[in-house]
Amino acid sequence: MSKIKAKLAALARGEKLTGSAVTALVIGLVIAFNAVIYALTVAYGLYLYSPETDNLEISGSTDYLFEKYEGERVKIIFCREKSELDYASGTVDEVTVFHETALQFAERYPDFIELEYVNTFTKRNSKNELVDLTKYQDVDVTTGESYPIYPTSVIFDSETANQHRTLYSVASAAFTYDLNSSSRSYSSYNGEEVIAAMVSWVLEPEHKTAYFTTYHGETSDVFFANVLSCAGYLVETIDLSKDEIPENADLVIISNPIKDFEKSVEGSKVRAEIDRLSTYLERGGSLYVSLDPYVEKLPVLEELISEYGIAFSETEIDGKLYRNIVRDSDNAITTDNFTLIADIADGNYGKALADKVDEYSDGKVIVRECAALNISGGAEAIFKTSSSSATYAGGERTDKSGSYCVGAIAKTSGQYGEGNIFVIPSIYLTANDALTTSGYANRDFVYAMFDQVYGADFVPYGCAPVYIDTGALENLTMKTARIYTVLLLSIPVVIAAVGAVIVIRRKNR
């Protein structure tokens, strides 16, 4: 035993080690290191990074946003005692975090923003003045009842513009919750963006209205609705089986329907859903459509969209039409190649969108399981894949490598002016993780759409959310991953070559 210990001690001191032994040891360590890295990348999605999780400092990007409101005053009313909102006390909830951001706004813009605190039980503020909270309560149009104001509510009020906006729960407005967590934990917080948006809303004289269609199995896209609200839209729903699209509709959104729209029966005087949608577009209405390429064909809706030059690319297999799903071997960020980076195409709208996105984001737009589109007439490609892409349908490869359109815009025009139809054959562009992860530019792209395509009056660019999720996927493409892999694998090869040279030279001494 003592001899074994002596040999191990000698090895630890570097004695009795030949050149080949040193080389073998180093190669073994490098291979073990590579194996660990590979296991982590497979388990956690290529590459992980950990952003700052406790930085609640506002960015100051609102300086230029608020320039046009000189001389105005906005009051942010918290429905709690100020003593209950001390962020440093350790008793922290969503409202105390939101209050911390509001404090920074009040300090940065003391002549523009002030904070007030009202006890919802006594209806008195910090100056012991009686406050009429009923004037801040909105009314449910279906029941006629007023929405109650809770201690979790925050009210934005402008006496100069004589407008108010009530956030009945800052939790749903400013926080994105981790849907995969069993506990109530949030993955991102965008308080700066929400405050900037609400302050602007109460000062703007007019507000656009966006309508989500219902009763076709549409996705309840809360995250997209929050971004719409921050862009100044009033968000409503509409049942086209009962109602015409109102004249005040600035945008209609069809979000991932699984059932088709009703078509009128020949000879019937009853207006069907698609008739109402068609009339809206013919008068110059704007439409945003996201479609799941794996859902059964929606012939009525797809026929209407195709009239404006946008249609699914399809392949017939055994007498059945399948949509062509795009995979990109170079610009994918997952190993199955279906989640990929989409380039903003050159064109009238594409260039304007790309320039606006580049002002505020270094990331790229990500889409997942996206179908290829055929465009014709005046339609314009907005998203295109790289030339290393290919299409698959029915489990088979259906085309050679090439670039494919995976997002398009077409113009509408009519008696009320001009509008635009945007079609994205994927449900991922406005998904939770796409809108709330700093590695992606999806949020900035959607804001640029509201600004450049749909003419929103106010868009809170530059208000970056605070990311709590430490497992956010970075924009590492498969092509980049292959380069990294080659570089990693080259390390042991170089070391082996150097070791071989050393051994040979020692033998030739």
Contact at 8 Å (CB) between 315 and 394? yes
Domain boundaries, the chain: 19-47+485-507, 59-205, 207-456
d(CA 29, CA 22): 11
**pLDDT at residue 45, rounded to an integer:** 41
The tens digit of pLDDT for each residue in 243-286 reads 999 999 999 999 999 999 999 877 677 889 999 999 999 999 99
pLDDT digits (tens, 9 = 90+) for 363-404: 789 999 999 999 999 999 999 999 999 999 988 898 877 899
Residue 315: Cβ within 10 Å count: 18
Residues in CB range of 12: below 8 A, 6 or more apart: none
Which tokens is 32 given? Answer: 């073990």
Predicted pLDDT of residue 48: 36
Which of 125-134, 176-185, 214-223, 342-351 is the most confident on average? 342-351
**Six-digit token string for 337:** 């190649």
Give the angle 102-108-113 at the CA atoms, nearest 5°: 60
CA distances for 267 relative to 244, 271, 296, 406, angstroms:
20, 11, 28, 38
Q: Is the pLDDT score of 181 beyond 90?
A: no
Confidence of residue 173 (pLDDT cuts 50, 70, 90): confident
CATH assignment of 207-456? 3.40.50.880
Which of 51-55, 69-73, 390-394 is least confident? 51-55
Please tell me the distance from the alpha carbon of residue 428 to that of residue 256, in angstroms, as a whole number.
Answer: 10
SS3 328: strand
**pLDDT at residue 213 above 50?**
yes
Q: What are the Cα distances from residue 390, in Å, to 334, 395, 405, 428, 506? A: 15, 13, 12, 19, 53
Does residue 326 carry a pLDDT above 90?
yes
pLDDT recorded at residue 484: 61
pTM, two decimals, is 0.81
What is residue 165's predicted lDDT score, i.e. its pLDDT?
Answer: 92
Whether the per-residue pLDDT at 28 is higher than 80: the answer is no
Answer whether residue 61 shows pLDDT above 90: no
436 neighbors 174 (Cβ within 8 angstroms): no
- How far apart, in Å, are the Cα atoms of 120 and each of 77, 78, 80, 466? 11, 9, 7, 29
The token duo for 277 is 């949608």
The CB density around residue 341, as the number of other CB atoms within 10 Å, is 21
Q: How confident is the model at residue 110 (pLDDT cuts 50, 70, 90)?
A: very high
CA dist., res. 447 & res. 357, Å (int):
9
| Averaged confidence pLDDT in the chain | 83
CATH entry 1.10.287 includes domain 59-205? no
Assess whether pLDDT exceeds 60 at residue 11. Answer: no
| pLDDT value of residue 509 | 59
What is the Cα–Cα distance from 430 to 224, expressed in whole angstroms?
A: 6
Measured CA distances, 116 to 86, 96, 126, 297 (Å): 14, 14, 7, 54
Q: In this prediction, what percent of the chain has a pLDDT beyond 70?
A: 79
Furthest-apart CA atoms within the chain: distance in Å: 103
DSSP 8-state secondary structure symbol assigned to residue 453 = I
β-pair type (287-290, 249-255): parallel
CB atoms within 10 A of CB 259: 13
290 pLDDT band, cuts 50/70/90, is: very high
Residue (of 384, 389, 379, 264) closest to 325 by Cα position: 389
Contact between residue 137 and residue 150 where contact means Cβ atoms under 8 Å apart: no
**Interatomic CA distance for residues 193 and 447, integer angstroms:** 12
pLDDT digits (tens, 9 = 90+) for 83-109: 889 877 767 888 999 999 999 999 999
Residues in the chain: 509
Looking at the predicted structure, is the pLDDT value of residue 50 above 50? no
Tokens of 189: 């917080």
Backbone angles phi, psi at 485, to 5 degrees: -65, -45
Angle (CA) 481 484 490, round 5°: 140
Q: Which residue type, as a one-letter code, is found at position 165?
A: R
